[in-house]
Structures are given as C-alpha cells and as structure tokens.
Amino acid sequence: GQQLNQSPQSMFIQEGEDVSMNCTSSSIFNTWLWYKQEPGEGPVLLIALYKAGELTSNGRLTAQFGITRKDSFLNISASIPSDVGIYFCAGSSGNTGKLIFGQGTTLQVKP
C-alpha cells in the first residue's frame, strides 16, 4: 500500500531557530495536509495544499506541495516554545477522502 516517509523523526532546537521537515511518498498525491498534535488532543490542521508547486504560508509556517506530487515540506521560522508538539503530514490520492499519514516529527523547543 501507499506509504509516507516523514523526516526527521524528532528535533530538539533552540528557541528562535528555523525548523524544516518533509514527507515523501512512493506514489502521487493530489492533496497534502500538515497537522500539529499536542499531548492529549487530536491533530489540528495547519496548512492544506491542493496543487503541485503550491507554496502556502500560515503565520510563521510555510508549506509546499512538491512539483512531482510525491513530496511536501513544512518550515517553521523563528520557533517559540508553544511550537512544541508532533507534526504530521498527510496525503490523499483518490476521491474517497482517505488520508495516509506520515509517522510524525516530534518537535521540542528549548527556551
């Protein structure tokens, strides 16, 4: 079946640093989504990408839908302590609405 490889698995950074994480797929997706999950809560949508090559920002977050439609990245600029959490990429390739999730990137920010 389809698989998403998300990297890195974890990051421990200093407050103020920029962060970059990415996802690659073995097959083509027509939608890429980035979610953040905090302890004890469900994932919350950060950015949705619907078109190859699309670059979208949400505050300090920027995400891009790769031209090949097999990858996506998420950047966080000037990290702050509240950025701590697990970030998931998710992709959809068909017309069923089903999502395939990456393994997640655990982000820790040192004040």
Partner 1 sequence: DAGITQSPRYKITETGRQVTLMCHQTWSHSYMFWYRQDLGHGLRLIYYSAAADITDKGEVPDGYVVSRSKTENFPLTLESATRSQTSVYFCASTRTVYNEQFFGPGTRLTVL
Cα first-last separation, the chain: 41
For residues 101 and 45, the answer to whether their CB atoms sit within 8 Å is no
Q: Using CA atoms in the order 8, 70, 85, 108, what is the torsion angle rounded to 10 degrees?
A: 20
Name the H helices within 14-78: none
Encoded one letter per residue, x for contact with partner 1 by CB under 8 A and - for no contact, window 49-68 reads -x------------------
Identify which of residues 45 and 80 has a Cβ nearer to partner 1 in the complex.
45
Q: Using CA atoms in the order 86, 87, 89, 95, what is the torsion angle rounded to 10 degrees?
A: 80
The only residue of 42, 59, 82, 111 in contact with partner 1, by rule CB under 8 A: 42
Of residues 69 through 88, those in contact with partner 1 by CB under 8 A are 88
92 forms part of the interface with partner 1 (CB under 8 A) = yes
103 forms part of the interface with partner 1 (CB under 8 A) = yes
- For residue 48, the Cα-to-chain-centroid distance in whole angstroms is 10
Least distance (Å) from partner 1 to the CB of residue 77?
A: 23
List residues near partner 1 by CB under 8 A: 1, 31, 33, 35, 40-45, 48, 50, 88, 90, 92, 94-99, 101-104
